[in-house]
Amino acid sequence: MDSFTARDLEALRAVSLAGARAAQQALRQMTALPVELEVRRVQPVAFADVPAILGGPEAPVVGLHIKVYGDLRANVLLALPLPSALRMVAALFPPGPESIEAMNDLEISGLTELGNVVSCAYLGALSTALHKSLIPSVPAFANDMAGAVVDVLLIEMGMHGDSAMVLQSEIRAGDDLGGHLLLMPDPSSLPGILAALRESPAP
């Protein structure tokens, strides 16, 4: 992480932009909602500061966790505040459930599928930009406090250090739709990413 220069982070931001664009398109197509995905942070973040990115350690969120396999290993987390998650489920299966707890299997499956499509789009764009394979797992679903939802991802990375390289995009559609898409590469994959960024000019 320390070997990433400002220029490398800029190049990584450009790659992240391509990912965000693709994810935005996928999300709009699936939900017909006017969502925007904006790249926010592309930098190392201390583990203790990651929950704040998601709205704070106690913020209730729906979390979709995708493990990434292939040339690069990573974790992707789509974290949606509950009203956003409900709105997206309602867009997929109108009129939608009363609450997240009241979601039936079909609705949970739909939301999981949304996480799958959005992360596939994002990872596909990254894969093209970095010339590396990035293969997503089926998303796993959780609904709880943001700190509790993200900490297992940080534990895995904790074997190699105390901070994570975070590529963060914020999901927005006016005032009432929010959320975050985080991509956190496995520390062992960072040298591969660095090499790929330096090999080819930024898209």
Task: Please report, as ranges, the residues that interact with other proteins according to CB under 8 A.
Answer: 47-48, 51, 56-58, 60, 63, 65, 140-142, 144-152, 154-156, 158-162
Between 6 and 159, name the residue whose CB sits nearer to other proteins: 159
Within 10 Å of residue 175's Cβ, how many Cβ atoms?
6
Between 71 and 151, name the residue whose CB sits nearer to other proteins: 151
Between 32 and 52, name the residue whose CB sits nearer to other proteins: 52
Taking the complex as a whole, the smallest distance from the CB of residue 37 to other proteins amounts, in Å, to: 23
Report the distance separating Cα 183 and Cα 95, nearest Å: 31
Taking the complex as a whole, the smallest distance from the CB of residue 30 to other proteins amounts, in Å, to: 22
Q: Is 178 left (phi over 0), alpha (psi -120 to 50) or beta?
A: beta
Report the distance separating Cα 75 and Cα 124, nearest Å: 15
Between 56 and 203, name the residue whose CB sits nearer to other proteins: 56
Q: Which DSSP letter does residue 3 get?
A: T
Report the distance separating Cα 66 and Cα 8, nearest Å: 25
Taking the complex as a whole, the smallest distance from the CB of residue 61 to other proteins amounts, in Å, to: 10
Under a CB-based contact definition with an 8 Å cutoff, are residues 91 and 33 in contact? yes
Token reading at 76:
């992707």
Taking the complex as a whole, the smallest distance from the CB of residue 32 to other proteins amounts, in Å, to: 28
Taking the complex as a whole, the smallest distance from the CB of residue 101 to other proteins amounts, in Å, to: 8
Between 110 and 147, name the residue whose CB sits nearer to other proteins: 147
Report the distance separating Cα 67 and Cα 126, nearest Å: 15
